[in-house]
Amino acid sequence: MGSIKRMFNLAAESLKAIDLSPWCISFFEIAGLWVIIFYSSILWLYRTASREGTGLTFDEGYIKYLSHWTPGPATHIMAARDLDTWRKPLFEAGLIGQYEDLGIGYGNISVRRGSRDLFLISGTQTGHLKVTDEQHYSLVTDCDIRSNIVRCSGPVQASSEAMTHAAIYALGDAIGAVVHVHSAELWQRNLDKLPTTDPNVAYGTPDMARELDRLYRMAGFKDAGIAVLAGHDEGLISFGTTLEEAVTRVLRIARELL
């Protein structure tokens, strides 16, 4: 809903800039007005295409940052196998998967590799896969949050959440793994109970990076190790010193629903 609100605010500001006084209206102003209305309508329909009965906005799975991907062979083979091992219980619990009616995957997992900026992350649109291997992971080599640029290499392009993962790794060298999952029940149950992001902040953006930094410093994210993404329907994110810790934090609250 945050992205829709911002879109309409932009349209409103644009309308204010047009003088609609009867004696001042020109052909170009009328044409401009119709362009704004048309663009706003198309974007609204795109954003609000939803799964019947869930209200899930179509705001998942596409990359919002500028991606500099260098195709190449898989690297960090053992790390990719570890990622698949810990991804399996998340997939089995439906926390990573695919919205079948939309054909869009959700959920991703990553692990730090050596230096502060290097991490291996699941590739974009791999959520539907029951089993993954090294061909389904991308190595993020650099992330410039201010410029909204992610550089990665490997057999597949990095997940649309790579920017968010990079922002969490930047919070501290002890953070070794990050997990992003989807669950309507977990999201609704823990909204504003666990550390929760501003609902107006969209996933995969520099704004989300800054918002997670705020949660970490001021709102308990550092201690909880898990947060609800209020502006990203059904989304939660966790971190840990290891993959086991990051995954266990999610599975622990999932078991509370049983």
Q: Is the pTM of this model over 0.85?
A: no
> How many residues in total does the chain contain?
258
**Cα–Cα distance between 143 and 162 in angstroms, integer?**
8
What pLDDT was estimated at residue 26? 54
- How many CA atoms lie less than 13 Å away from 17 in the CB half-sphere? 10
Q: How far apart are CA 258 and CA 256, in angstroms?
A: 5
Residue 139: phi and psi, rounded to 5, are -95, 115
Q: How far apart are CA 84 and CA 92, in angstroms?
A: 12
CA pair distance 116, 68, nearest whole angstrom: 19
Rg of the chain (C-alpha set): 20
pLDDT tens-digit series, residues 134-171: 999 999 999 998 888 999 999 999 998 899 999 999 99
175 has a pLDDT exceeding 80: yes
Please give the DSSP secondary-structure letter assigned to residue 220: S
Residue 12 amino acid letter: A
Alpha-carbon distance 201 to 77, whole Å?
35
pLDDT digits (tens, 9 = 90+) for 1-53: 444 444 434 444 444 444 444 444 455 445 544 544 444 344 334 433 433 33
Q: Which 3 state secondary structure label does DSSP give 92?
A: helix
